[in-house]
Each structure stands twice: as C-alpha cells, then as structure tokens.
C-alpha cells in the first residue's frame, strides 16, 4: 500500500452497528493524526464495543461470527423481504433484487420507474416506509444513467413482522405509481389522437 493511502473499514456491518468501531490501516504518521483527531471527537465514547471488537479480532472469532451467525441472519431477512415482494408485487411490474450475500441492506431495482427515486422515497415516507434513495450511491458518475434513479436501499434490521408490513405498503405505493404513469400515458396518447382528427 502506498504511503498516502489509508484503508478504512467499519465493524458496524459485522455485528457491532451501535458501537461505531472502525479500523484504519496506513502509514503510521497518518494514523497518528487520525487517532489524535478521533480522540478529540470521542473524548467520552464508550469503550465496551472497542473491547469486544479487539477480543473478536485477536481471537479470530470475528470471521467465524460473520460467516456463521451474521451472514445467515441477514440472508434470512433478505429471503423474507423477497418472498413478501413476490407475494405483493404485480407480475407485470419490472422489479429486481440485487443478489444479497448477507449484508444488512437489500437493493431493489424498479426498472423504468416513472418518477425519481427521491420522489418515490417521499411517497413511501407518507405511508411509514423509510428507504434510502439510490442516486446518492453513484457519486462522480459523469453520464446520465437512469438506473441510478431507479434503485432503493432497504434496511434489513427491522423485525420480520415489520419487514412484511413495510413490503406490503411499498408494493401498494409502487403499484399505484406505475398505474398512474400508465393512465397518464394513455390520456396523453388519447389527446394526441383526438387533436389529430379534428
């Protein structure tokens, strides 16, 4: 690794989401500056999570916990989310889930979404479903790629019952969005046809 490169990672996705424990690997001079900066920010931060993380890393248990406990747990949550969407979404609606490998989020792609991910987020929020619009995960993209405005990131940290209810509501809102778009397209085609016959 080069002297000017610092590799940073968080243990929040490895079972310690509330503890805010991270790791930085890089040149010792840079790490010392980061350490001083972080110390000033977190003067009274809890050390419990750091102690757990240190022990899990030193013992090698972190890798085992990640693959044997955490990954299967979130894969089951993703399977529940997918089966809920399979039951609730209309068959002709073009939706896809990105392949999950045990992460705490699911990525839903709504192909040809008739409005932006941000506008859909606003509608979902009105029915109590909070997701993250996908467009913010494409920083620096120079080209206009519609896919970036057709994806939602959905947390898998809710209870099973909450996931099922949220997917029911999400499916209802998305169905209405696509149906409204189809209706307005038919209306505009009708107007064009009528104006051409006069």
pLDDT tens-digit map of 32-65: 888 877 766 666 556 767 787 788 888 988 888 8
- For residue 13, is it within any domain? yes
| 91 within a domain of the structure (yes/no) | yes
Say if residues 82 and 97 touch (Cβ distance below 8 Å).
yes
> In terms of domains, do 78 and 33 share one?
no
Q: What is the pLDDT of residue 44?
A: 57
- Determine the average pLDDT of the residues in 174-191: 74
Q: Is residue 34 part of a domain?
A: yes
- Burial, 60: exposed, middle or buried (Cβ in 10 Å; 0-12, 13-18, 19+)? exposed
**Spatial CA neighbour of 104 closest among 1, 195, 179, 11:** 11
Structural domain contains residue 2:
no
Q: Are 15 and 65 in contact (CB under 8 A)?
A: yes
* pLDDT the model gives residue 198: 41
130-170 pLDDT, tens digit per residue, is 999 999 888 888 888 999 999 999 999 999 999 999 999 99
39 and 87 part of one domain: no
In a domain, 179, yes or no: yes
| 119/180 same-domain check | yes
24 and 86 co-located in one domain: no
Q: What is the CATH number of the domain that holds 106?
A: 3.90.1150.10
Number of domains composing the chain: 2
The token duo for 70 is 């955490």
The answer to whether residue 65 sits within a structural domain is: no
Q: Are 149 and 116 in contact (CB under 8 A)?
A: yes
Q: Using one digit for the tens of pLDDT, what is the confidence trace for 12-26?
A: 666 666 666 778 889
64 in any annotated domain: no
SS (H, E, C) the chain: CCCCCCEEEECHHHCCCCCCCEEEECCHHHHHHHHHHHHHHCCCCCCHHHHHHHHHHHHCHHHHHHHHHHHHHHHHHHHHHHHHHHHHCCCCCCEEECCCCCCCEEEEEECCCCCCHHHHHHHHHHCCCCCEEHHHHCCCCCCCCHHHHCEEEEECCCCHHHHHHHHHHHHHHHHHHHHHHHHHHHHHHHHHHHHHHC
Residue 67 lies in a domain: no
Instruction: Using the predicted structure, report yes or no on whether residue 91 has a pLDDT greater than 70.
Output: yes
pLDDT of residue 195: 44
Indicate whether 106 pLDDT > 80: yes
Token reading at 75 = 């894969």
User: Do 15 and 97 belong together in one domain?
Assistant: no
Domain that holds residue 12: 7-59
98 and 167 fall within a common domain:
yes
Query: Residues 62-87: pLDDT tens digits?
Result: 888 888 988 899 999 999 999 999 99
Q: How far apart are CA 154 and CA 139, in angstroms?
A: 19
Are 116 and 44 contained in the same domain?
Answer: no
């Amino acid at each position: 690794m080069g002297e000017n490169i610092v590799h940073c990672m968080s243990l929040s996705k490895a079972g310690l989401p509330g503890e805010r424990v991270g790791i930085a690997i890089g040149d010792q001079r840079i790490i010392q500056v980061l350490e001083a900066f972080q110390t000033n920010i977190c003067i009274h931060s809890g050390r419990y999570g750091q102690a757990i993380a240190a022990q899990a890393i030193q013992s090698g248990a972190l890798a085992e916990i990640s693959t044997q406990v955490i990954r299967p747990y979130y894969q089951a949550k993703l399977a529940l989310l997918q089966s809920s969407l399979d039951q609730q979404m209309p068959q002709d609606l073009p939706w896809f889930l990105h392949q999950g490998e045990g992460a705490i989020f699911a990525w839903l792609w709504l192909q040809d979404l008739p409005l932006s991910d941000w506008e859909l987020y606003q509608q979902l929020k009105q029915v109590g479903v909070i997701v993250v619009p996908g467009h913010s995960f494409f920083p620096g993209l120079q080209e206009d790629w519609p896919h970036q405005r057709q994806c939602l990131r959905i947390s898998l940290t809710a209870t099973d019952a909450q996931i099922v209810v949220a997917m029911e509501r999400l499916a209802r809102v998305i169905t209405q969005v696509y149906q409204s778009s189809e209706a307005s397209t038919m209306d505009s085609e009708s107007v064009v046809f009528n104006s051409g016959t006069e």
